[in-house]
Amino acid sequence: MTQTHDSRLRVVCLAGPSDAGKTSLVEALVSRLAADGRVATVKSIHHDIEIDTPGTDTHRHRTAGAETVVGVTPALTFDITTRGKRDPPASDAPLLEADDPESQALASVLERLARRGYDTVLVEGFAGAPLPTILVGDREPSAVGGPVVGRGGEPIDDLVDTIRSLEGIEYAPGDESGA
């Protein structure tokens, strides 16, 4: 069943301690939810890493001062934006109310994904975000910012049905030129 794209983005966080199985659960959910429409994932990384190899042209563009660099290969397109959790971009109409910089950064990413036409976003991490959350491993409901809608030990079919039933976040569809 293919879902027609509308102005609602289903988003669910997967929260739990390291090595609890969040990534494996994301993999299983993505493969099932892709039958419904376009699926994107967002991964919270708690330490700085270098994702762009020093010396490459895209790295040189970024270190020269470009706020966003887009790379296009024969098989992939990627973008690197210098605004992360420490300095998230501002939004005129954020998709979620967020007081902390980490959730503001997530709101900015979700806004870009919504404008790009995604139907569902699985967020690994960002436990404090005010979004529906699936708890994985030993995580108490009080440790997350959104309502708990499932647990990682539930049957995958039940979790997929839960995600499919989420109301979604409303956004104003538009072009991707502002992202």
Reported pTM: 0.76
Sorted by where each starts, the structural domains of the chain and their CATH numbers stand as 8-48+88-170 (3.40.50.300)
Q: What is the pLDDT along the chain (179 residues), one digit of tens a residue?
A: 444 445 578 999 999 998 999 989 999 999 999 998 989 888 876 556 566 778 887 787 788 777 777 777 777 777 777 665 556 556 554 556 666 677 777 887 888 888 888 899 999 888 888 899 999 998 889 999 999 999 999 999 999 999 999 988 876 655 444 44
For tokens 């994107």, the residue is: 40
Phi, psi for 173 (deg, rounded to 5): -60, 145
